[in-house]
A = this chain, B = another copy of it.
Amino acid sequence: MSKAMAGDTISLAAGLVDSATLPAEEIAAVMPDFFRERGRLALQYGTNEGLESLRRKVLSRIEKADGVPGGLDLGRVLLSTGSQQMLYILTEIMVDPGDIVITAAPSYFVYLGTLETAGAEIVGIPADENGMRVDLLAAAIERIVRAGKGASLKMIYVTTYYDNPTGASLSLDRRKALLETVESFDGIRPLVIEDAAYRDLGFAGKDVPSLWSFDERRDRVAYLGTFSKPFSPGLRTGYAVLPEELVEKVKIFKCGHDFGSASFSQQLIDFAIDRGIYDRNVAILRKTYAAKCRLMCGCLERELAGLAGWREPEGGLYVWLDFGDVDTGLDGAFFSECAREGVLYVPGEFCYPDRKNAPKGRMRLSFGPTSAADIEKGVARLSAALSARSSWGGR
């Protein structure tokens, strides 16, 4: 394979959504109605909590998906600028420097960065094809308690659907076991953040009830979701269902940040749900990403069978690869060789709380924003870079 021309680099790194799937035509078509019905409301200040009708939809959709009875106080549901802002605010409230947060290892690297900036000590629990190894959680908490740091354990962060980066979902058994484990420790009450950003993007298998749904008193788990991945990142609208004791605190911080995210975005999403645009778009996305995922995994089978390991995900945007003893790190020869071939990936090391001791051979590939042709070319380039391995010394 020839070396990539300048400007021809294919990114399998970006966790974006496919521009071709953005519902521009459908939204454009309803704009006259939208402006007639809501134009002035959308252009005026909204509220700190976010648009009430959209918060009601968020809550009823989660309750319906989880098969739990309705009736939770709508005050528990808040909107934010993407789910990132809610992650940031929860971290601001919960974590002082030196406090402990448990995450999976690997985990969502942007949030690991947020935790590091907040001065958190991050304790990573290994993850496998069923998500965080919850069987190792009790021992980890025990170690924290024995070290006299039980009171410093402030949060457990877990992605429950089609994880970024691994693509794995936390199994039903582990959802229950996670909460049972947390509740088995007297006197410590870490907040469990359930990041369900990719829940709507399942394209194989079945949706399962959220971790939040097993928190029967609704006082331990904050459920976070977003309209960015399943609809439009440019509208930057995320949401959370919070334990009651956090609601007022989050509202005070949210008010300090911006006293409310863009009202226009919230009105537009609410209107798109009313008109069925949202659900139609999600259905299209699922098909699109299912096809791209199948394509990427087919290419991997063709190009890298026996040379790398991966598991075909049932949703989301990512395939997690294991190249064994090949160093996939940013400073390694493989990354450079890939750059020369013209393909980018996210080195797995960024996704581990303890980066220095991260396994060497992992990488995250995204099939989200990349065209079918570029997925094929990108994987072929990965393979070519790997073939060149002998020339750079086998590591």
Contact = CB atoms under 8 A, between A and B. Distances in A.
Contacts of A25: 35, 39
Contact of A235 (B81, B117, B259, B264): B264
Interface string A255-285: 0111111111101100000000000000000
A164 to B, nearest CB: 14
Q: What's the number of copies of this chain in the assembled complex? A: 2
Contact of A265 (B46, B117, B259, B265): B265
Contact of A24 (B28, B39, B45): B39
A365 B234 CA distance: 37
A258 B28 contact: no
A59 to B, nearest CB: 22
Nearest to A260: B236
A85 B42 CA distance: 20
B24 A259 contact: no
A388 interface: no
Interface in A163-222: none
A84 B24 contact: no
A44 B31 contact: no
A233 interface: yes
A270 to B, nearest CB: 13
A68 to B, nearest CB: 30
Contact of A39 (B27, B32, B268): B27
Main secondary structure of the interface of A (DSSP, over half): helix
A40 interface: yes
A139 interface: no
A17 interface: yes
Contacts of A46: 234
Interface string A226-256: 0010001111110000000000000010001
* Residue picked from A19, A25, A256, most chain B C-beta under 10 Å: A256
A45 B17 CA distance: 8
Contact of A45 (B27, B41, B233): B233
A110 interface: yes
A106 to B, nearest CB: 20
A22 interface: yes
A288 to B, nearest CB: 14
Given A82-B259, A117-B252, A262-B81, A234 B22 contact: no
Contacts of A262: 81, 234-237, 261-262, 264-265
A39 B16 contact: no
* Residue picked from A42, A43, A81, most chain B C-beta under 10 Å: A43
A236 to B, nearest CB: 4
A43 B234 contact: yes
Contacts of A119: none
B28 A43 contact: no
Contact of A258 (B42, B45, B88, B234): B88
A60 interface: no
Contacts of A233: 43-45, 263
Contacts of A113: 256
Given A81-B257, A117-B256, 8 more contacts: A19-B40, A24-B43, A28-B32, A43-B235, A44-B233, A84-B259, A88-B256, A88-B257
Interface of A: 16-17, 19, 22-25, 27-28, 31-32, 35-36, 39-46, 80-82, 84-85, 88, 110, 113-114, 117, 228, 232-237, 252, 256-265, 267-268
12 contacts: A19-B40, A19-B44, A22-B40, A22-B43, A27-B35, A31-B35, A81-B81, A81-B258, A82-B258, A84-B259, A113-B256, A264-B268
Q: Closest 10 A-B residue pairs measured CB to CB?
A: A24-B39, A28-B35, A234-B263, A43-B232, A31-B31, A45-B233, A81-B258, A22-B43, A236-B262, A43-B234
